[in-house]
């Protein structure tokens, strides 16, 4: 049975505390009791959870959670948070392995949360561009946490086998949560050495031209990347040529992703869901380029309500609206922008030398549309369209 699950906020913050712990020849039960007394939390368990095996432990700067997981794993047990200062320990139930899957969504907009972490004990998976994940399970009940910067960490208990994917909702959180960053650093730093996921919300904080940050402009603040000075702009990554960079928009290859001599990219930030950039350790699904890969995914429209946005700055007019065509089933998004540069002759004053050019006018535009339909929780179809161009002309003096 499919459905939507709102995740509880992760509890027991004390588990993230780093401690030094040293004991010699104590049972698992005695080790956990000592931890609870030293760090002021309560524990509950049945008499058959722990055996009499003795342990010697000497660790430094390890979290309480990691230490408890190690002890519990050796005993074939697990623990769950109850309230903010209480843990319950119990024996794990072995079940025939099955694949648990689902979608991680933003609780406010129902947009997929891309690259969210789904964690069970010492195993984890990431969500794909549709917010989808799969994880093999062999024990029940299972304690699952879900993490992504900009959202409250979610927690749920999986108590029964399920083969149908469900949707799991994460709640947006504007505060910086150090525990989420710590999870990302510890799990992703090694595997994603060559990759960067750009936070769309953070783009507005990057120095920009006329208030429009631009996807490609943001990349130029990364090491080993520089912009070219040619008329059509572009990027040089680790000494490679512009033609050695692969730029994808919803899987479609773009050959010239720039406007106005490289000052603006063709991507309208209002319509973007995720941006992934790789300059080494490029995943095998990308091929054909030596220097880098930029993979940009567009948003889908809100399935529940209509939304709109309008932005005007000295150079650009930008707008977007999206919402449901068939509530809960079909959504639509349309975004567009146009430059004002053809209305300001002084904008071109710097390229007019000795009256050789009496008139030069130029503008660019981009229109992006997406149509998304859900056939079921397992399958959906989407259509993306893009129309853009650069219009300009030079007329000699009469």
CA dist., res. 314 & res. 211, Å (int): 8
Residue predicted with more confidence, 360 or 371 = 371
Q: Is the pLDDT of residue 324 over 70?
A: yes
Beta carbons of 258 and 234 less than 8 angstroms apart: yes
Q: Is the pLDDT of residue 334 over 90?
A: yes
Q: Is the pLDDT of residue 358 over 70?
A: no
Quote the radius of gyration of the chain (alpha carbons, Å): 26
For residue 359, the tally of other CB atoms under 10 A from its CB is: 12
In this prediction, residue 333 carries a pLDDT of 92
Tens digits of residue pLDDT in 252-262 = 888 888 887 66
pLDDT-based confidence at residue 189 (cuts at 50, 70, 90): very low
Whose CA is closest to 396, among 362, 345, 359?
359
In this prediction, residue 328 carries a pLDDT of 82
Q: Is the pLDDT of residue 357 over 80?
A: no
pTM of the model: 0.59
CA dist., res. 163 & res. 159, Å (int): 13
CA dist., res. 360 & res. 282, Å (int): 42
Give domain limits for the chain. Answer: 4-10+93-188, 13-83, 195-298, 307-395
pLDDT-based confidence at residue 5 (cuts at 50, 70, 90): low
pLDDT-based confidence at residue 335 (cuts at 50, 70, 90): very high
Tens digits of residue pLDDT in 90-139 = 887 766 788 889 899 888 877 888 888 898 877 888 888 788 899 988 77
Mean of the per-residue pLDDT values of the chain: 77
CA dist., res. 35 & res. 19, Å (int): 10
Say which residues have a Cβ less than 8 Å from residue 297's Cβ, sequence separation at least 6. 114, 129, 250, 272, 273, 274, 275
Tens digits of residue pLDDT in 253-291 = 888 888 876 677 888 887 888 788 887 777 777 776 777
Tens digits of residue pLDDT in 220-236 = 666 656 654 444 456 67
CATH 3.30.420.10 fits 4-10+93-188, yes or no: no
Residue predicted with more confidence, 296 or 183 = 296
Q: Is the pLDDT of residue 157 over 70?
A: yes
In this prediction, residue 232 carries a pLDDT of 45
Superfamily of domain 195-298: TonB-dependent receptor, plug domain (2.170.130.10)
Tens digits of residue pLDDT in 38-92 = 988 899 888 888 888 888 889 888 888 889 888 888 888 888 887 778 888 888 7
CA dist., res. 369 & res. 325, Å (int): 14
Question: Which string of b and e fits 312-349 if b means at least 16 CB within 10 Å?
Answer: eeebbebbbbbbbeeeeebbbbbbbbbbebbeeeebbe
In this prediction, residue 229 carries a pLDDT of 41
Residue at token pair 């603006």: 264
In this prediction, residue 106 carries a pLDDT of 85
């Amino acid at each position: 049975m499919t459905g939507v699950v709102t995740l509880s906020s992760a509890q027991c913050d004390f588990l993230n505390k780093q401690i030094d712990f040293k004991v010699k020849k104590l049972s698992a039960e005695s080790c956990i009791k000592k931890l609870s007394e030293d760090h002021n939390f309560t524990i509950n368990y049945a008499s058959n959870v722990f055996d009499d095996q003795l342990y010697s432990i000497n660790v430094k700067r390890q979290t309480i959670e990691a230490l408890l997981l190690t002890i519990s794993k050796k005993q074939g047990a697990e623990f769950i948070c109850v309230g903010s200062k209480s843990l319950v320990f119990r024996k794990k139930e072995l079940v025939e392995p099955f694949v648990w899957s689902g979608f991680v969504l933003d609780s406010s907009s129902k947009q997929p949360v891309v690259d969210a972490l789904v964690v069970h004990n010492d195993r984890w998976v990431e969500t794909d561009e549709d917010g989808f994940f799969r994880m093999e399970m062999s024990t029940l009940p299972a304690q699952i946490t879900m993490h992504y910067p900009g959202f409250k960490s979610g927690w749920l208990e999986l108590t029964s086998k399920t083969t149908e994917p469900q949707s799991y909702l994460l709640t947006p959180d504007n505060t910086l949560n150090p525990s989420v960053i710590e999870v990302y650093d510890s799990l992703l730093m090694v595997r994603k050495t060559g990759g960067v996921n750009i936070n769309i919300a953070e783009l507005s904080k990057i120095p920009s031209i006329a208030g429009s940050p631009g996807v490609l402009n943001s990349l130029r603040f990364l090491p080993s990347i520089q912009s070219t000075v040619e008329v059509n702009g572009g990027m040089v990554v680790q000494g490679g040529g512009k033609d050695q960079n692969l730029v994808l928009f919803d899987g479609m290859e773009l050959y010239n992703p720039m406007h106005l001599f490289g000052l603006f990219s063709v991507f309208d930030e209002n319509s973007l869901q995720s941006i992934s950039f790789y300059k080494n350790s490029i995943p095998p699904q990308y091929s054909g380029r030596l220097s880098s890969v930029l993979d940009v995914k567009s948003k889908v429209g809100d399935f529940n309500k209509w939304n709109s946005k309008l932005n005007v700055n000295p150079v650009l007019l930008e707008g977007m609206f999206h919402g449901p065509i068939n509530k809960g089933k079909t959504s639509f998004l349309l975004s567009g922008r146009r430059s004002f540069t053809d209305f300001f002759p002084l904008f071109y004053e710097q390229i007019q030398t000795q009256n050789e050019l009496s008139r030069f006018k130029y503008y660019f535009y981009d229109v992006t549309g997406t149509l998304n339909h859900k056939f079921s929780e397992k399958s959906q179809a989407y259509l993306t369209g893009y129309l853009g161009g650069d219009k300009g002309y030079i007329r000699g003096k009469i």
